[in-house]
Structures are given as structure tokens and as C-alpha cells.
Amino acid sequence: MEQERIDEALELLWVLDEEGHHDLKRFNLSSDDADIDAVVEVLSIEGLADLSDGEIKLTDKGTSIAKGLIRRHRLAERLFTDIFDLPKDTMEEDACKVEHILSEELTDSVCTFLGHPPVCPHGKPIPRGECCKKYSVDVRPVVTRLIDFEVGKSGKIVFITPSEAARIGRLSSIGIIPGTIIKLIQRKPSIVMQMDETTIAIDPELAKEIFVKKIS
């Protein structure tokens, strides 16, 4: 059986698990594979998934492989969206191709390059890698937290990861949303930035949740 079919099934199991679903029937209906029963059989034989009482769950082995696939896919989405500004349909198609070919070393390099993003463009979590735990920077990240951004430079807000849902509405009300162009004026004692003709000050803790890409 083609490895790509197995990979797609593992990814689907990961996504359904994120949503709290383990029903085998739901998995079968959610799959686009023409012979999903055969794929399920292979997953079971190879020790990638357990089947019991109408449920299907990833084994430790399956989880490890699925985690890598999901990590590569969602990092590729961030790369294509934040750096190359690809349209959504193209981004999705290319991310599906890249997830099967990126090595672990290259994946970590992409992650570091992007500033270790916590979520994909759809807001889903990107599994952490060793590079995220160390948070070492072998190359200068293209995307950085606003709290670490260079004073006097302009950047585009690429994503926001609020610890509290209410913060999204508060930030939106003052124009701080993905795609907004800002210029950082100061970092201490508060974060002061300029948007068009408006100057805004925010708390440093909030600035840690705003990620910016430098523009020339």
C-alpha cells in the first residue's frame, strides 16, 4: 500500500483525536480514501492504530508518526502563508506535498526560521519539536514576538495567540489584527507602536502574544 495513503489516515486520526472523536464509523466517513477498510487493516497490522468496541485510536507508534506529519504540514502552511503570501488553495495543496518530504532537521530549521509558531494559519496547534524546547536560534527568525521586535522598524502582524479569548476582541477594536502594518516606537515601560497616524500603547505581556514579520 502507498505510504501516502497511510500517512493521510494517520493525520486524520490525529485531527479527530484533537476534536475528541475516536468513532471508527466517523473516521471512515471523514476519509477520502476509496478503500478505507483496507487502510484500517494495514494500520492495525502495522501497529499504528488500535481497534476496539467500534473505536479507532493511534498507538504510541502511530502517534509519533502522525505528530511528525502534522508538525510538517502546519509549519509548511505557516511558511507559505506568512513568508510567500500564497492563496489558501495553493497553500493547502503544497503543504500536503511538503509534509511527506521534509526531514526532521529541515523541519526544525523551518520552525526556527519562523520563530517557533505555536499555531497554524487555521489556529490549530503545531506540535512542538526539540528546537522549540531549546528555543535556540541558529538563523534569525523572520517572525518574532512584538515584545522582541526591533524599535524603529516596521512589521506586519502575522498572527496572534491570546491566552484569553476576550483579548482578541479588545485588540481588534483598536485595529491590532493579522495583516496590520505597525512601527514599533518603544518597548519599555510599555509597548508603543504606530499604525498609520495612530499611536497605541499596550502591556508587554500582551505583546508576547502578537507575532510580527519585519518588512523593508
Read off the pLDDT of residues 82-138 as tens digits, 9 standing for 90 and up. 777 777 778 888 888 888 888 888 898 888 888 888 899 888 999 999 888 765 444
Which pTM does this prediction carry?
0.69
For residue 140, is pLDDT > 70? Answer: no
- Residue-averaged pLDDT of the chain: 89
User: Domain residues for 80?
Assistant: 72-134
- In the numeric block, which cell numbers belong to residue 4? 501516502
Query: In 10 A of CB 85, how many CB atoms?
Result: 9
CA distance 143 to 204: 17
Q: How many domains does the chain have?
A: 3
Give the whole-number percent of the chain exceeding pLDDT 70.
96
> Do residues 20 and 83 both lie within one domain?
no
Q: Minimal CA–CA distance to 147: which of 206, 68, 200?
A: 206
What's the pLDDT score for residue 60?
97
Quote the crossing angle between the two packed helices 88-98 and 60-78, to the nearest 10°: 140
What's the pLDDT score for residue 92?
82
b/e burial code for range 174-203 (CB count within 10 A of at least 16 → b): eebeeebebbbeebeeebbbeeeeeebebe
Domain harbouring 127, CATH code: 1.10.10.10
Q: Would you say residue 63 lies in a domain?
A: no
> Do residues 126 and 148 both lie within one domain?
no
Q: Would you say residue 67 lies in a domain?
A: no
Give the model's confidence band at 80: pLDDT under 50 very low, under 70 low, under 90 confident, else very high: confident
> Do residues 51 and 19 both lie within one domain?
yes
- Determine contact, residues 87/55, Cβ cutoff 8 Å: no
- Determine contact, residues 115/145, Cβ cutoff 8 Å: yes
CA angle 88, 209, 144 (to 5 degrees): 70
Q: Would you say residue 171 lies in a domain?
A: yes
Give the model's confidence band at 151: pLDDT under 50 very low, under 70 low, under 90 confident, else very high: very high
Encoded amino acid at 147, one letter: I
